[in-house]
Amino acid sequence: MLHTLAVYVDNKPGVLNRVASLFRRRAFNIESLTVGHTETDGVSRMTVVVETDEYGARRLEAHLYKLVPVRRVDNITAAPQISRDLALVKVSATGESRTHIMQLVDVYRARVVDVSPDSLVVETTGTEDKIDSLVEVLRPFGIIEIVRTGRIAMVRGTSATDRAPKRNGYHAAVPAADASAGSV
C-alpha cells in the first residue's frame, strides 16, 4: 500500500540527502518526493510517498524521528486529504491538430502555458491517474517532453496535520509501535 508521510525538517543543506539515505539504507523505494517551504521560516516540508505496509510505515516514522533535522513526521495516509500532482507536457501541434489538442486540454481542465509554431506546452494538475490519462490522450499527437512533480498532500479541514509534543523544538521520543512486540 502507498503511504504518504509529511516530514517537517530544518531548511538546511544536506537534510534531503540524510532523509533520502535513510530510506535507501532501510531498502524502501520512494515513489514520490516533493519538498517546499512551510508557513514557518527555516522549516521545509517533505511529502514522501512510499510503498510499504502499516508496520513498515511506523518503522520509517520512528527512524525519521532519530534524524536531528527532522522536527515532525505525520503519516497522513488514512486522513481525509487533498493530493495533487503537476505536469508540464510539450506536445507537437501544427495546423488542425492544434485546435484538437486545445479542445482536449479544456476537457481535462488543463491549460496551455506556451505556444510555439510547432508545439504547445500544457500544464495540468490533479491525481496521478488524471495526468496519466491526459498523457495517453496526447500521445498520438507526438509528445516531445514531459516533466512531472511528485505528489503534494494536505489534510482536509481547519486543523493542521497532527502535532506531537515537542521538546527543545523537536519531538519527544516516539512510543513503541506495538507494546506486545516485546521491545524495550
3-state secondary structure 23-79: HHHCCCCEEEEEEEECCCCCEEEEEEEEECCHHHHHHHHHHHHCCCCEEEEEECCCC
pLDDT of residue 160: 67
What would the pLDDT profile of 12-27 be if each residue is shown by its tens digit?
999 999 999 999 999 9
Q: Is 131 helix (H, G, I), strand (E, B) or coil?
A: helix
For position 180, what pLDDT does the model report? 35
pTM of the model: 0.78
Beta partners for residue 123, in sequence order: 88, 111
Topology of domain 82-148, per CATH?
A: Alpha-Beta Plaits (3.30.70)
Average pLDDT, the chain: 88
- Per-domain residue ranges for the chain? 1-77, 82-148
Domains 1-77 and 82-148 share a fold: yes
Alpha carbon separation from 93 to 84, 90, 139, 144 (Å, rounded): 27, 9, 12, 10
Least confident of 36-45, 49-58, 83-92, 167-176: 167-176
Q: Domain 1-77 belongs to what architecture? A: 2-Layer Sandwich (3.30)
Cβ–Cβ < 8 Å for 153, 50:
no
pLDDT for 96 equals 87
For the segment 140-149, the average pLDDT, to the nearest whole number, is 97
